[in-house]
Amino acid sequence: MLIVAVVFEFVPGGFDRIKETVTTAIENSRKEPGAQIYDWAIDVTAPHRATIFEVWDSQADLDKHFTYPYMDSLVAALSESNIRGDITSYSAEIYDVSGKRDMGFVLPTE
């Protein structure tokens, strides 16, 4: 199992210029074989920070993920954003994990 964590810092309005392309990638990526989680989030304390959190069954599934046309569009939009100066910094890491387990955390109902 793989966890992918990517963090982008955008200039004000920078994310908005690619939001439609991001939305298309999210909607399609979530349907891919091997995709357990594919989420983008805007940080509530830093509104110009976007975080991608992904969980994949295998490296093969992640590799296949980058072969779809909507991912070509997303990578192109991110590249253009970087060249345009809309992205001020980013990091991308992959974590290999052996498995997952329930935290045992339960919210009260009353």
- In this predicted model, what pLDDT tens digit does every residue of 72-99 receive, in sequence order? 999 999 999 999 999 999 999 999 999 8
DSSP 58: -
- Tell me the C-alpha distance between 42 and 78, whole Å: 16
Class (C level, CATH) for 2-96:
alpha beta
Question: Are 74 and 25 spatial neighbours (Cβ–Cβ below 8 Å)?
Answer: yes
Which pTM was predicted?
Answer: 0.90
Instruction: Tell me the per-residue pLDDT of 16-43, one tens digit each, with 9 for 90 and over.
Output: 999 999 999 999 999 999 999 999 999 9
Domain residue ranges in the chain:
2-96
